[in-house]
């Protein structure tokens, strides 16, 4: 058993509390009470539950500081992203993802949803282990110390009615049935019958889920297969939704319906589904998402970097669609920045303040996020919950004098203020200097 006395703590409900004593046994909180420290380890600062990064493309981390240098659009950015995707192998992807996930751990992220579509080798040729790239990601998360929901993504077309081309051949399984068959194949085994390669894990830190890339990358008649797989396996189902106006226009032309309506018709909305971005929605779209209790994952630092627009976060919540958060392209990996950006973007869009409380945004970044990835029991400091603890220094130049409360976490702090991270009771805090060296070395090998 390990015991900690938290100087200040937000447990997942109510206000910040002083002097919270917690016991951890086998990675789970067994006691959470207010009281004196006794023999417990004293933890100064403000402690919150672990954060959930619900939308990640790990290989995009290599693009930071490079794609922002010139004018362009989402579509010109995509070509630069494809250039990186064309170079990756299971080994180099493992190295890049491990460094990226360690960066996440450093800023308090204990679970990640990896929206993974880089499945095959050059030209679309499957690896001997057809899930080699998935296994590289799972092992990268394991070595970084964070949980991963591997959201295996069905990606079949370059656009509605257009076959995949160029690097997109690496993304495609041909059709949704083949996509599902690949997911169900066991890993390659060696002569002794042991699993070869990467990907071994215990079920408490890895969740296998599904994703429909978008209405432009998965034909309407293929979507029900993906949704059915998720239902059968009670797995998370994520989808890029209405990120671009051009996507909506193409969908209306092809199907006479919005992307949200197409997903509803395919049976792809519901409590296990998360719609990522959900930026350009009609009032009926909002009602469909809210009425089905589909979650909406906003990624504000990416959405502003790409010039996507500002989605209706508050209207979605009021309709019944809970909010979660992601770092997506990793232009920034900082869930504190994502939290406050939701509120600040709403202020810009409406010219009014006060749409989201700090507690609501912390809930989106913690328990709602973990639940959307299938990690029930994470995101709260409560008896029976997974023992994740993220501690912020409340005396930095950003946090000093801000009250050491939920407002400090959401509207003042940054990932740089995180000083300690526990996941399931295990300290996963990386050395910041070593992490920077690793990121530089790995990315320089890919993009000299």
Domain CATH number, residue 395: 2.30.40.10
| 205 in any annotated domain | yes
Active site residue 328: yes
| 446 in any annotated domain | no
Residue 118 sits in the same domain as residue 152: yes
| 24 in any annotated domain | yes
| 60 in any annotated domain | yes
Domain around 397: 2-48+380-435
| 184 in any annotated domain | yes
| 116 in any annotated domain | yes
Active site residue 308: no
Number of domains observed in the structure of the chain: 2
| 11 in any annotated domain | yes
Q: What is the β-pairing status of strands 418-423 and 295-298? A: unpaired
Among candidate residues 329, 333, 334, 332, the one with its CA nearest the CA of residue 84: 329
Q: With 0-12 CB in 10 A as exposed, 13-18 as middle and 19+ as buried, what is 20?
A: buried
Q: What is the CATH number of the domain that holds 101?
A: 3.20.20.140
Q: What is the β-pairing status of strands 17-25 and 323-325? A: unpaired
User: 376 near 35, Cβ under 8 Å?
Assistant: no
Query: Of the candidates 328, 351, 372, which is a domain's last residue?
Result: 372
Residue 26 sits in the same domain as residue 101: no
| 448 in any annotated domain | no
Taking only Cα atoms into account, the Rg of the chain, rounded to an integer number of angstroms, comes to 21
Query: Of the candidates 354, 372, 390, which is a domain's last residue?
Result: 372
Calculated CA dihedral for residues 159, 164, 168, 174, nearest 10 degrees: 110
6 Cβ contact list (under 8 Å, min separation 6): 19, 20, 21, 22, 43, 47, 381, 389, 391
Query: Of the candidates 372, 397, 417, which is a domain's last residue?
Result: 372
Residue 305 sits in the same domain as residue 415: no
Tokens 């409406």 sit at which residue? 350
Q: Sheet harboring 295-298: ordered strands across?
A: 51-56, 109-116, 147-154, 206-212, 237-241, 273-277, 295-298, 323-325
Of 277, 330, 355, 370, catalytic: 277
Residue 92 sits in the same domain as residue 196: yes
| pLDDT tens over the chain, length 448 residues | 999 999 999 999 999 999 999 999 999 999 999 999 999 999 999 999 999 999 999 999 998 977 666 666 666 677 788 888 889 999 999 999 999 999 999 999 999 999 999 999 999 999 999 999 999 999 999 999 999 999 999 999 999 999 999 999 999 999 999 999 999 865 433 333 333 333 333 458 999 999 999 999 999 999 999 999 999 999 999 999 999 999 999 999 999 999 999 999 999 999 999 999 999 999 999 999 999 999 999 999 999 998 899 999 999 999 999 999 999 999 999 999 999 999 999 999 999 999 999 999 999 999 999 999 999 999 999 999 999 999 999 999 999 999 999 999 999 999 999 999 999 999 999 998 899 999 999 999 988 7
Of 328, 334, 345, 388, catalytic: 328
Residue 13 sits in the same domain as residue 59: no
Residue 399 sits in the same domain as residue 291: no
């Amino acid at each position: 058993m390990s015991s900690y006395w938290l100087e200040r703590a937000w447990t997942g409900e109510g206000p910040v509390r002083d002097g919270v004593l917690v016991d951890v046994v086998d990675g789970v909180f067994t006691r959470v009470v207010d009281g004196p420290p006794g023999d417990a380890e004293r933890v100064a600062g403000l402690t919150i539950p672990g954060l959930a990064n619900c939308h990640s493309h790990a290989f995009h981390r290599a693009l930071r500081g490079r794609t922002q240098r010139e004018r362009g659009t989402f579509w010109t950015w995509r070509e630069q992203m494809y250039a990186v995707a064309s170079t990756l192998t299971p080994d180099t992807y493992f190295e890049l993802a491990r460094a990226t996930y360690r960066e996440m751990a450093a800023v308090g992220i204990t679970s990640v949803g990896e929206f993974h579509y880089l499945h095959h080798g050059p030209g679309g040729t499957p690896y001997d282990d057809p899930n080699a790239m998935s296994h590289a990601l799972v092992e990268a998360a394991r070595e970084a110390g964070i949980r991963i929901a591997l959201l295996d993504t069905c990606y079949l077309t370059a656009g509605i009615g257009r076959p995949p081309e160029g690097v997109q051949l690496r993304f495609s399984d041909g059709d949704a049935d083949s996509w599902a068959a690949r997911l169900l194949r066991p890993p390659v085994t060696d002569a002794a019958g042991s699993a070869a390669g990467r990907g071994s894990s215990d079920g408490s830190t890895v969740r296998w889920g599904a994703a429909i890339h978008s209405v432009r990358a998965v034909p309407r008649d293929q979507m029900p297969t993906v949704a059915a797989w998720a239902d059968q396996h009670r797995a998370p189902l994520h989808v890029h939704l209405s990120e671009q106006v051009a996507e909506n226009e193409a969908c209306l032309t092809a199907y006479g319906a919005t992307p949200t309506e197409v997903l509803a018709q395919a049976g792809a909305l519901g409590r296990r589904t998360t719609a990522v971005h959900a930026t350009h929605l009609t009032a009926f779209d909002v009602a469909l998402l809210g009425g089905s209790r589909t979650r909406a994952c906003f990624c504000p630092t990416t959405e502003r970097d790409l010039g996507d627009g500002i989605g209706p976060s508050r209207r979605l919540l009021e309709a019944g669609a809970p909010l979660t958060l992601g770092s997506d392209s990793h232009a920034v990996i900082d869930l504190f920045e994502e939290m406050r950006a939701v509120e600040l973007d709403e202020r810009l869009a409406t010219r009014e303040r006060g749409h989201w409380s700090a507690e609501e945004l912390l809930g989106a970044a913690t328990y709602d996020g973990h639940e959307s990835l299938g990690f029930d029991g994470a995101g709260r400091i409560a008896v029976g919950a997974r023992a994740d603890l993220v501690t912020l220094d409340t005396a930095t130049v950003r946090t000093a004098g801000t009250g050491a409360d939920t407002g400090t976490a959401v509207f003042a702090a940054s990932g740089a203020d995180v000083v300690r991270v526990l996941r399931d009771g295990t300290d996963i805090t990386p050395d910041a200097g070593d992490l920077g060296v690793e990121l530089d070395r790995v990315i320089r090998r890919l993009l000299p």
